[in-house]
Chain A
């Protein structure tokens, strides 16, 4: 197996969806890394394990007078799927791991395809296999 350490970055996320700009910024950063040709490891801790939760659902907005389609509510799970698609198109690997205990606490075990459950041992392996690791802490 070729050594991809120099072309692999690891990101550690902690924030849940919809609560902080850090979540969208993190996904922008991961997307930028993929578009610059990097393999990416993502370890999601705490609320971040809900970012790829498969049961996120868009909703209408009575205040705006919009139905579901018109409101066009963005969902992080779709953004993550788009990043995974982009990585595949480019022949790159994005390995998204949710901390298993954090998943269990929050009951968000149904994650979108191409993400997986793991543990801090995976984070340790990620760090060893990357040229650098960025932790985006929660507040």
Chain B
């Protein structure tokens, strides 16, 4: 089993299906691997409550941890109470920690 950190920086309307990290996260998680999806920049738009409930729920079922960059959330006026319960706010320090432990990391 490998550990992956997938960093999604683009909003859902700015991605082509072939480059969808959430889909890759689901695929990796079923292998199985330990997968974290970190939403950042416009990627956090998907972290709003109701924005992608089905997708995030499916990832949760597969054991994928979904995080959203707290700075990006604040920049876009997404208050904590508007965050999906399936997503946790996190600092960039989490990305550093994952890199430091050797996780295979992709940035989109």
Do A and B associate with each other? yes
A residues with a Cβ closer than 8 A to B are 7, 9, 21-22, 25, 28-29, 32-33, 35-36, 38, 131-132, 134-137
The reply to whether B107 and A134 contact each other, CB–CB distance below 8 Å, is: yes
Contacts of A137 in B (CB 8 A): 107-108
Contact of A132 among B40, B41, B91, B102 (CB under 8 A): B102
63-103 of chain B: CB within 8 A of chain A: 71, 91-93, 95-97, 99-100, 102-103
Is B9 close to A, CB under 8 A?
yes
A-B contact pairs, 18 of them (CB 8 A): A9-B96, A21-B42, A22-B41, A25-B9, A28-B71, A32-B91, A32-B93, A36-B96, A36-B97, A36-B100, A38-B96, A131-B99, A131-B100, A132-B99, A134-B95, A134-B99, A134-B105, A137-B108
37-80 of chain B: CB within 8 A of chain A: 40-42, 71
- In Å, the complex CA distance between A19 and B41 comes to 14
B residues with a Cβ closer than 8 A to A are 9, 40-42, 71, 91-93, 95-97, 99-100, 102-103, 105, 107-108
Contact of B92 among A9, A21, A32 (CB under 8 A): A32
Closest B residue to A22 using CB positions: B9
Contact of A9 among B41, B91, B99 (CB under 8 A): B99
- In Å, the complex CA distance between A135 and B91 comes to 19
The reply to whether B103 and A29 contact each other, CB–CB distance below 8 Å, is: no
- In Å, the complex CA distance between A134 and B103 comes to 10
Q: Contacts A9-B96, A25-B9, A32-B92 known; A132 to B105 CB distance under 8 Å?
A: yes
Q: Contacts A131-B99, A132-B100 known; A28 to B92 CB distance under 8 Å?
A: yes
Q: Contacts A21-B41, A134-B107 known; A29 to B96 CB distance under 8 Å?
A: yes
Q: Which of B40, B99, B108 has the most chain A CB atoms closer than 10 A to its own CB?
A: B99
Contacts of A135 in B (CB 8 A): 107
Given A22-B9, A29-B92; 11 other pairs, CB 8 A cutoff: A9-B99, A21-B41, A22-B41, A32-B91, A32-B92, A32-B95, A33-B96, A33-B99, A131-B102, A132-B100, A134-B107
